[in-house]
Amino acid sequence: MKYGRFSTDGREYLITHVATPSPWINYLYNGRYFATVSGNGGGISYFRSPLHGRVTRYRINDIPPDRPGKYIYVKDVDSGAIWTLTWQPIGRDVEAYRAAHGFGYTRVEAEVEGIASSVLFFVPRDDDAEIWRARLRNESGRLRRLSVFGYVEFALGHALIDLINQCDDQHFNRVRFDPDLNSLFATKTYWVTETRGTQHQENKEWDRWAFFTVNHPVAAFETMRERFIGPYRSEGNPLAVEAGRLSSRETDFGNAVGALQVDLELEPGESKEIVFTLGVIAKTEFEASKAAVVRKYRDPAEVETAFGNVRASWDEYLSFTRAETPDPDVNVFLNGWSPYQAKVAFDVGRVASFYYWGIGRGFGYRDTAQDAIAIVVADPGKARSRIGLLARQMRRDGKVYHHFYGDGQGEFTRHCDDPLWFILAVTEYAKETGDFAVLDREEPFLEGPPGSILNHLFAVVEFARGNTGRHGLPIFGRGDWNDTLDYIGGDDGGESVWGGMFCAAMLDRLAELLEAAGRPEHRDEVVELRDRFRSAVESYGWDGEWYLRAFGENDRRVGSRENAAGKIFLNTQSWAVIAGLPDRSRLVQAMDSVRRHLDSAYGPKICAPAFREIDPKIGLITRCVWGKKENGAVFCHPAAWLIQAECLLGRGDRAFHYYRTLLPNRVDSDIFAAEPYVYSQYITSDEHESPGRASHSWQTGSAAWMYRVAYDYILGIRPAYEGLRIDPVIPASWKRFGAERVFRGTRYFVEVENPGGVESGISSLKVDGRLIESHIVPPSDKPECRVHVVLGRRLS
């Protein structure tokens, strides 16, 4: 509570004390133009790719960590007082500022020197630009003469080249002021489109103009950072703002910036709106479009309409599921912040935040596949195109790029799990939509002739079949879901027990799809392979009280009670359940072992005890500091699978205990540090000297999984091929809850009562007043449908 809270309706996170322990950010984007912004105005902007289309800079490893950004300076011409409309970068009067992050927008308010201000940041749906709409109101009771300066630092193209070769790269910057358009235009006459730092000099220029404009006459402008900031200074005390007059010189060299000065007067009580627009235009379209976008947002009505459209589109996206549970925190996350984060993670990928700098990684195959499971609820079309994208990263032997850029570039590794995630994306889509035609859609492979999605799925089956070791389990290669178990058994020796469970689970899903799609001819071989993985795990994977994690060289057991470190791993317990292993007593024991050995005040740990000695025959995990990341942290993404597994066992109190512990707003922010409105990749565990600190917020698989697992398995409302399955697994203390879900065009209103205080099981289920003898509500052709559920004795 020290730094902020959710608004009463849960739709905004209000930062009441803006000196947050780390930059608390938001994402503003339309699918082409992307911007991040912190509550203090820090953040980057890029067009399509943070690597190739970087519009503004991020200064990596800088202190403070969120510079530069989207800054508006104000100077009182008479008193000489200077401040910014966000608390940073000038950083005075912290108590005078507050910020709010909403769905697709961020607003910062302040009252400094008798001037009340509010800046709204958002990216319009239709234009490749970002709007900073500032409103200033004179509360001082006397006439005020102010200079207002909007300021950005440009990157202009390839962010990695900009970073590693700036001494040469700055010779290609061009920044021009166009007096007719009252705007600055910046570009680079040299551009590289390769993904890595390279000596190769491509013979071309950046294909965009970046523009920066404002809805008032520009009194003066600046184009070069050296002149705006001045020597031995920073954004916190720029020389040009102190001087009160920009140089109005264009530049062909140096660190390119855009600064626009507007001079205005405010009578007592008077307000003025100053709208800065930063964006890009394709050079090829500049003339034809007459730079219409540059002028567009000078009209306040256009700004209002564009903002209304952004809000409407998020409202629409968030309207597909709704939860009214007895727990207000759960409602805030399930009705807004979890699906919101999941969509941001889907649209952005792990490429842009203050953790991921967007210069070195493409899209991870498995991450990208998993992100699709959340988007499919509200936007199946997007999930379908994601399936196509994933298919195009696959070879005919089923191997896929571990990382890819979507333009044919990518990197193969030897992870044993990557291709299998394709099955997840396809089956979630088919279950949601009932669209089986997707199986016949043709997509290219990385080589050879194209094939249908079904061909791609079978390429994956062949990959799984061909990649097994001595115990019939997947050969570990350079990792499975856990990227840091990368040298299990040395170079080649290891097998993944989790991989065996995962293959079984994915093949089971595929068999179910083939059955539902009326393609039983392929089903048998899939079932047969699934059963082989199940029995390999059952024969070799049990350690007595839980499941092993892996076999190393010479049958060495990893994740066993015989080990001093890494005795027990979370994933092989939860996936034993998810994979449908047959021995319930083992499953219950495995999950109880999780509770006993892995659960902690901050949530369940990914493994324990953490490794404290380097072991080259296990890998990176053992080189990592204990209690962080994969080495024994509370890793939020697999924690979602634990919740799912507890639900599958019908244990609502346990499941909810884990879910609630992991809600991001549960830990004091001075300890947690990361944003309390979104999941982070991990929370430092009690194996480290400073537990509770979260890291890698926003861009994590936890986003999609926490949304879907909580909705599908705790509320228990999830798609099945035959209809909507209802199977709540809740805390016994919940007497009732309500939910809504749109499924195949029908909006279901679900009311659940729990008179007997049970954790799971249904005694009656009525659909529009009629009792049905099944957990599955068949698809309806009506726009709305009412489902009434009484929990109690199991239906069947």
Instruction: Indicate the burial class of 645 (C-beta count within 10 angstroms; 0-12, 13-18, 19 or more).
Output: buried
Q: Where are the beta strands (DSSP E) in 182-255?
A: 183-188, 208-214, 220-224
Among 366, 567, 605, 628, binds ligand GLC (CB under 6 A): 366
Binding to ligand GLC (CB under 6 A) within 618-647 occurs at 630, 637
Stretch that binds ligand GLC, among 43-51, 295-303, 359-367, 443-451 (CB under 6 A): 359-367
> What b-and-e string marks burial along 727-755, b requiring 16 or more CB atoms within 10 Å of the CB?
bbbbbeebebbebbbbbeebbbebebbbe
Minimal distance, residue 598 CB to ligand GLC, in Å: 16
- Determine phi and psi for 443, rounding to 5 degrees: -140, 145
Decide whether 336 or 364 has the Cβ nearer to ligand GLC: 364
Residue 578 CB, shortest distance to ligand GLC, in Å, is 16
> Minimal distance in Å, beta carbon 669 to ligand GLC?
23
Residue 561, token pair as written in the block: 């009670």
680 lies in the binding site for ligand GLC (CB under 6 A): no
Window of 173-181, 364-372, 377-385, 562-570 that interacts with ligand GLC by CB under 6 A:
364-372
Q: Which of 318, 345 has the CB closer to ligand GLC? A: 345
Q: Does 566 bind ligand GLC (CB under 6 A)?
A: no
String of contacts with ligand GLC for each residue 170-189, x by CB under 6 A: --------------------
Instruction: Tell me the HSE value of 791 on the side-chain side, using a 13 A CA sphere.
Output: 28
350 binds ligand GLC (CB under 6 A): yes
Helix, strand, coil percentages in the chain from 3-state DSSP, rounded to 5: 30, 25, 40
Residue range at the interface with ligand GLC (CB under 6 A); choices 224-232, 253-261, 481-489, 580-588: 481-489
SS3 706: helix
CB nearer ligand GLC, residue 70 or residue 629:
629
Q: How far is the CB of 699 from ligand GLC (least distance, A)?
A: 8
Compare residues 641 and 737 and give the one whose CB is closer to ligand GLC.
641
| Residue 483 appears among annotated catalytic residues | yes
Q: Does residue 681 touch ligand GLC according to CB under 6 A?
A: yes
Q: Which of 130, 483, 675, 759 binds ligand GLC (CB under 6 A)?
A: 483
Q: How far apart are CA 79 and CA 64, in angstroms?
A: 28
For ligand GLC, the closer of residues 98 and 350 by Cβ is: 350
In angstroms, what is the minimal distance from the CB of 680 to ligand GLC? 10
Tell the smallest beta-carbon distance from residue 635 to ligand GLC (Å).
7
Say how many Å lie between the first and final Cα of the chain, rounded: 45
Residue 482 binds ligand GLC, judged by CB under 6 A: yes
230, 152 Cβ separation under 8 angstroms: no
**Which one of 310-318, 362-370, 445-453, 767-775 is the stretch in contact with ligand GLC (CB under 6 A)?**
362-370
Residue 358 binds to ligand GLC (criterion: CB under 6 A): no
In whole angstroms, how close is the CB of 365 to ligand GLC at the nearest point? 9
CB 525 within 8 A of CB 481: no
Spatial neighbors of 162 by CB under 8 A, at least 6 apart, are 54, 57, 155, 156, 169
Member of 43, 69, 339, 364 binding ligand GLC (CB under 6 A)? 364
The span from the CA of 475 to the CA of 414, in Å, is 9
Nearer to ligand GLC, 127 or 630 (CB): 630
Which of 120, 106, 49, 52 minimizes the C-alpha distance to 277? 120
Choice among 127, 483, 486, 727 that is catalytic: 483
Tell me the closest approach of the beta carbon of residue 410 to ligand GLC, in angstroms.
Answer: 15
Measured from the CB atom, the residue of 162 and 630 that comes closer to ligand GLC is 630
The answer to the question of residue 367 lying near ligand GLC (CB under 6 A) is yes
* Contact between residue 39 and residue 15 where contact means Cβ atoms under 8 Å apart: yes
Q: Which is nearer to ligand GLC, 41 or 349 (CB)?
A: 349
Which residue's CB is nearer to ligand GLC, number 366 or number 534? 366
Exposure string for 403-425, b = 16+ CB within 10 A, e = fewer: bbbbeeebeebbbbbbbbbbbbb
Nearest residue to the partner ligand GLC, using Cβ:
483
Q: Which of 127, 252, 138 has the alpha carbon at shortest distance from 189?
A: 252
Instruction: Give the residue, chosen from 154, 429, 481, 533, that forms a contact with ligand GLC under the rule CB under 6 A.
Output: 481
CB of 478 to ligand GLC, least distance (A): 11
Beta bridge partners of 468: 474
Residue 583 φ/ψ, nearest 5 degrees: -90, 100
Of residues 300-329, which lie at the interface with ligand GLC (CB under 6 A)? Answer: none
Angle between helices 636-648 and 584-597 (to 10 degrees): 140
Please state, in angstroms and rounded to a whole number, the distance separating the CA atoms of residues 233 and 51. 28
8 A C-beta contact, residue 578 and residue 648: yes
Residues 139, 144: Cα–Cα separation, whole Å: 10
Give the count of residues interacting with ligand GLC (CB under 6 A): 12
Q: Restricting to residues 691-710, which ones interact with ligand GLC according to CB under 6 A? A: 700
> 222 or 428: whose CB is closer to ligand GLC?
428
Stretch that binds ligand GLC, among 61-69, 77-85, 383-391, 475-483 (CB under 6 A): 475-483
By the 8 A CB rule, do 608 and 688 touch?
Answer: no
Torsion of CA 92, 96, 101, 107, to 10 degrees: -90
Element (H, E) at 165: none
Residue 364: CB minimum distance to ligand GLC, A: 5
The window from 59-67, 191-199, 462-470, 482-490 that contacts ligand GLC (CB under 6 A) reads 482-490
Candidates 169-177, 363-371, 656-664, 742-750; binding stretch for ligand GLC (CB under 6 A): 363-371
Least distance (Å) from ligand GLC to the CB of residue 636? 9
User: Is the Cβ of residue 42 or residue 701 nearer to ligand GLC in the bound state?
Assistant: 701
- Integer CA distances (angstroms), 524 to 171, 305, 521, 527, in order: 64, 55, 7, 5
Which lies closer to ligand GLC via its Cβ, residue 12 or residue 367? Answer: 367
Shortest spacing between CB 350 and ligand GLC, in angstroms? 6
- Gap between the Cα atoms of 252 and 250, Å rounded: 7
Q: Which residues of this chain interact with ligand GLC, rule CB under 6 A?
A: 350, 364, 366-367, 481-484, 630, 637, 681, 700
Residues assigned a catalytic role: 483
